[in-house]
Chain A
């Protein structure tokens, strides 16, 4: 197990490097650059800007200048558009917003999803089951950028209960609608996965044994079935994170939240090279680490799996 973890961690480093290189290459290819405004700049000033940021040097020099500080001390440089703000400080500042909303949404989704999914599995083919699964299907099919504005329409613009946008700290009225919007789709997925996983497990031999041993139903469910039945949910967490990012971007745009997703879109549109690379690297590391965690969790849940 330990060797497996170390091996994975070691592989992470070259993977991230490749990711950074690819991103850097793509940004270089894109036309337009960060200092373009709607009033054009006299040529000499433009030339000077180029020199300052090293854009007139050959590509391998630029590449080295970008990548070497990252390797040495994780220095992603300074944002080109947001003068004087280091990429790291931007990420540190916007991460709590995205992570906060994302985690709260996912937690909500887990709680609601697992509950309803288990109930559906236990009361298979009942009204509960059909209702939950229909609702879950709805959740998967309605895009989050439809759910969000509809929620805004009802609870904000009509009833004036909640604010339609902006951010005021994680535990404020402003967070409610974004979290609800983001969690909708995950609630649905998790409910379905839980139900499927539980059904599979509930039919298996060792559950039958547990039941025939005379254990209480609750023990059977919670101590035995849930553990194995949640495996699909656990494995879903990996790609769920990728979804969470794009979902967060949409939610951040609708509700004007100062999170990582919003910064990322702005950075891409602004051709803000260091910021783009910084955020991409950060996301990649997070994804890879989370996938590793998921694999480890998998091992805990299913003793048959061994690395």
Chain B
């Protein structure tokens, strides 16, 4: 009887589904945005949460030196009005605006940023994204608890260059300051470099030698270098302190940051939530509890009104915000939710105004993509498979290449409908002017040939199928984190390998945390799922994963030539040449095939047509101050709004409207 009820009501309601938009489109009576942000935020402390759901919330609560442009995600001035960059991007000076304030009325100064950066990399903070700041001088050493070596008699520190520990190329931020005019490009606004300080002199002197802070590690390092061991005798070890980190408040509104190497993408990096300021006084008063709704102080366009975990985070507009006049919404209600169908159901019924990215699972895409409220645009995120190059049979490059060539990604593209196949590690179509790696298309014949060369001949069963009995199938499986979409894709690849190579790779789905653990320890057999979203808008955020064999490498592959190419690229001030070098590095890596690239993601979300100022940019991060509800139906968004930036006086931002 229940069934009859279901069927009858559905057939009555079926016509309602042929509208242009997906579900109800009545704007709410008030000016409060209801948005599904993703998983429940771990914390409202920008140093402690590194995920994308939290990032979206932080863009409403905190504002950094720079902010993302709503369409292109380029860094635009925020708390910093303007800045100077030295000739090899190893030192930056920021000039802050004078009218920026915290939500409790206190004004924001350069000292706030010095405190925040120091706190972020402080070992006690236990920030998991501290590595983003390791480009700053001594930040990594401070974070790892390293020590300087000082002679107690002369108070001189031992220097890196005396013990061969120096990099091949010294960044301009480390060269002595006599060559000051060579360092900065004088401009009309800034004809001479800024005021000098003792700290600045220090930054421009040769790098000090550091040793690991932990006893055992230090002994091991010393044992390797007898000259060092001898020099260290009789000296004292001075821990690297917060004050040694290369950030300095030259005065109340001038901030200088010294980097340890050329970092041309540093400005884009600064928009990341990690670099947004946190209120020193509040943290020192309340400690861990400083983010409780009663205590928390923020500096963004909105402030916290209430927080019911797992249910709703309610924000209201902050009148103390320096640009409050240009903030349109009166409040935002963030609903934490990770289940895609539930998200879309709520959206459809009109309970929310927009949903997080990747809300629509592939099976629904056909039903949703032609609706006018569907947002399709390339995303700065890639999906690939990592292979464990430390264990056979995947340690043989021919086997790895064979598995790559046996996958028909072009067909998968058609099947998934909204993503593009990928042939490298950087996302396709995101970085203008970047040379994309060579396309290795689907070639099952070559794949079988490679496998045979590697010692695992593929037998043609003559009935349209293949088999490969010599392949050590018990040493290979494909592991992925448990999720509906992952399972479907995994099964597709399994079918591909079976059809083209005659190998049925076992599938293993693991709960997410177990999966990440197993993958980073190189515990997994054969192949595993991999995905990476950009931390900042530069190819290096993807290429840098393979800079060391540890951390997010997950494959065990490492090549010095690759690292050298990356370093050379970063030192190059010419953007075109830099991209070229990065491209060469990427090609080198893809030729070695430690991964099987699969696809560039698409943003894939929906927003109601009356929500304007919110663009499907490559990172799905929205500066909320620009968002507003349009009540005039004729001005509603119909389709994906254009992401082409229209330039205006403040460089790249144009609002409201398209």
Whether chains A and B associate is yes
Task: Mark the stretch among A30-38, A202-210, A232-240 that contacts chain B.
Answer: A30-38
* B186 interface residue per 8 A CB criterion: no
Q: Check B131–A42 contact: CB distance below 8 A.
A: yes
Q: Check A84–B43 contact: CB distance below 8 A.
A: yes
Residues of B close to A39: CB separation below 8 A: 50, 128-129, 552
Smallest CB separation, A30 vs chain B (Å): 8
Q: Check A45–B24 contact: CB distance below 8 A.
A: no
A82 and B143 contact, Cβ closer than 8 Å, known pairs A32-B513, A166-B351: no
Residues of A close to B45: CB separation below 8 A: 83
Give Cα A31 to B511, complex, Å.
10
Smallest CB separation, B553 vs chain A (Å): 9
* A270 interface residue per 8 A CB criterion: yes
Give Cα A42 to B50, complex, Å.
14
Partner of A48, one of B50, B123, B518: B123
Task: Mark the stretch among A4-12, A154-162, A186-194, A296-304 that contacts chain B.
Answer: A154-162
Q: Check B513–A36 contact: CB distance below 8 A.
A: yes
| B114-139 contact mask (Cβ, 8 Å, vs A): 1 or 0 | 00000000010011111100000000
Q: Check A263–B345 contact: CB distance below 8 A.
A: no
Q: Check A36–B310 contact: CB distance below 8 A.
A: no
* A93 interface residue per 8 A CB criterion: yes
Residues of B close to A154: CB separation below 8 A: 5-6, 9-10
- B residues 141-176 in Cβ contact with A at 8 Å: 143-145
Residues of B close to A100: CB separation below 8 A: none
A263 and B310 contact, Cβ closer than 8 Å, known pairs A38-B516, A52-B126, A83-B43: yes
Give Cα A57 to B167, complex, Å.
38
Smallest CB separation, A81 vs chain B (Å): 6
Q: Check B342–A45 contact: CB distance below 8 A.
A: no
A84 and B288 contact, Cβ closer than 8 Å, known pairs A43-B550, A166-B335: yes
* B311 interface residue per 8 A CB criterion: yes
Q: Check A44–B143 contact: CB distance below 8 A.
A: yes
* A242 interface residue per 8 A CB criterion: no
Residues of B close to A153: CB separation below 8 A: 6, 10
Q: Check B128–A85 contact: CB distance below 8 A.
A: no
A259: nearest chain-B partner, CB-CB: B310
Q: Check A262–B345 contact: CB distance below 8 A.
A: no
* A40 interface residue per 8 A CB criterion: yes
* B252 interface residue per 8 A CB criterion: no
Give Cα A158 to B13, complex, Å.
6
Give Cα A90 to B310, complex, Å.
11
Give Cα A258 to B144, complex, Å.
38
* A23 interface residue per 8 A CB criterion: no
Smallest CB separation, B137 vs chain A (Å): 17
* B358 interface residue per 8 A CB criterion: no
Give Cα A80 to B22, complex, Å.
39
Partner of A37, one of B50, B123, B348, B518: B50
* B486 interface residue per 8 A CB criterion: no
A262 and B310 contact, Cβ closer than 8 Å, known pairs A42-B551, A44-B143: yes
A156 and B349 contact, Cβ closer than 8 Å, known pairs A36-B513, A82-B42, A83-B43: yes
- A residues 138-153 in Cβ contact with B at 8 Å: 150, 152-153
Residues of A close to B516: CB separation below 8 A: 32, 36-38, 40
* B517 interface residue per 8 A CB criterion: yes
Q: Check B128–A258 contact: CB distance below 8 A.
A: no
Q: Check A258–B309 contact: CB distance below 8 A.
A: yes
Give Cα A266 to B511, complex, Å.
11
Give Cα A33 to B308, complex, Å.
25
Residues of A close to B308: CB separation below 8 A: 93, 258
| A58-93 contact mask (Cβ, 8 Å, vs B): 1 or 0 | 000000000000000000000001111100001001
Q: Check A94–B310 contact: CB distance below 8 A.
A: yes
Q: Check A159–B9 contact: CB distance below 8 A.
A: yes
Give Cα A167 to B123, complex, Å.
39
Smallest CB separation, A20 vs chain B (Å): 22
Q: Check A156–B345 contact: CB distance below 8 A.
A: yes
B548: nearest chain-A partner, CB-CB: A42
Q: Check B311–A166 contact: CB distance below 8 A.
A: yes
Give Cα A254 to B346, complex, Å.
12
Residues of A close to B514: CB separation below 8 A: 30-32
B552: nearest chain-A partner, CB-CB: A40
Give Cα A266 to B309, complex, Å.
13
Q: Check A152–B345 contact: CB distance below 8 A.
A: yes
Interface size of A by CB at 8 A reads 52
* B512 interface residue per 8 A CB criterion: yes
Residues of A close to B509: CB separation below 8 A: none
Give Cα A35 to B520, complex, Å.
13
Q: Check B310–A164 contact: CB distance below 8 A.
A: no
Smallest CB separation, B126 vs chain A (Å): 6
* A269 interface residue per 8 A CB criterion: yes
Give Cα A160 to B346, complex, Å.
10
Partner of A256, one of B24, B42, B48, B337: B337
Give Cα A254 to B337, complex, Å.
11
Give Cα A262 to B309, complex, Å.
12
| B516-534 contact mask (Cβ, 8 Å, vs A): 1 or 0 | 1110100000000001000
Q: Check B9–A37 contact: CB distance below 8 A.
A: no
* A271 interface residue per 8 A CB criterion: yes
A135: nearest chain-B partner, CB-CB: B1
Give Cα A223 to B7, complex, Å.
45
| B87-99 contact mask (Cβ, 8 Å, vs A): 1 or 0 | 0000000000000
Give Cα A150 to B2, complex, Å.
9
Partner of B349, one of A48, A49, A157: A157
Give Cα A160 to B349, complex, Å.
6
* B291 interface residue per 8 A CB criterion: yes
Residues of A close to B346: CB separation below 8 A: 163-166
Q: Check A269–B513 contact: CB distance below 8 A.
A: yes
Give Cα A90 to B307, complex, Å.
13
A89: nearest chain-B partner, CB-CB: B309
* B289 interface residue per 8 A CB criterion: yes
* A22 interface residue per 8 A CB criterion: no
* B182 interface residue per 8 A CB criterion: no
| B337-359 contact mask (Cβ, 8 Å, vs A): 1 or 0 | 10100100110111100000000
Query: Which residue, of B130, B309, B310, B516, has the highest number of chain A Cβ atoms within 10 A?
Result: B310
Smallest CB separation, A162 vs chain B (Å): 9
Q: Check A269–B551 contact: CB distance below 8 A.
A: no
Partner of B342, one of A42, A158, A165: A165
A32 and B511 contact, Cβ closer than 8 Å, known pairs A44-B143, A153-B6: yes
Q: Check B126–A49 contact: CB distance below 8 A.
A: yes
* B489 interface residue per 8 A CB criterion: no
Residues of A close to B310: CB separation below 8 A: 94, 258, 262-263
Smallest CB separation, A171 vs chain B (Å): 16
Q: Check A164–B342 contact: CB distance below 8 A.
A: yes
Give Cα A294 to B12, complex, Å.
48
Partner of A32, one of B42, B129, B517: B517
* B549 interface residue per 8 A CB criterion: no
Q: Check A93–B309 contact: CB distance below 8 A.
A: yes
* A41 interface residue per 8 A CB criterion: yes
Partner of B309, one of A85, A160, A164: A85
A253: nearest chain-B partner, CB-CB: B339
Give Cα A85 to B44, complex, Å.
12
Give Cα A48 to B516, complex, Å.
19
Residues of B close to A254: CB separation below 8 A: 342
Residues of A close to B127: CB separation below 8 A: 45
Q: Check B5–A83 contact: CB distance below 8 A.
A: no
Smallest CB separation, B177 vs chain A (Å): 32
Closest 4 CB pairs of A and B: A258-B310, A32-B513, A158-B13, A83-B43
Given contacts A45-B130, A156-B349, list 5 more A-B pairs with CB under 8 A: A45-B123, A94-B310, A154-B6, A164-B349, A165-B345
Between A and B, 22 residue pairs with Cβ closer than 8 Å are: A31-B514, A32-B514, A33-B513, A45-B123, A45-B126, A45-B130, A82-B40, A83-B48, A83-B291, A84-B289, A84-B291, A93-B308, A150-B2, A156-B345, A164-B351, A165-B337, A165-B346, A256-B337, A258-B308, A262-B310, A269-B513, A271-B513
User: Residues of A with Cβ closer than 8 Å to B?
Assistant: 30-45, 48-49, 52, 81-85, 90, 93-94, 150, 152-154, 156-160, 163-167, 253-256, 258, 262-263, 266, 269-271
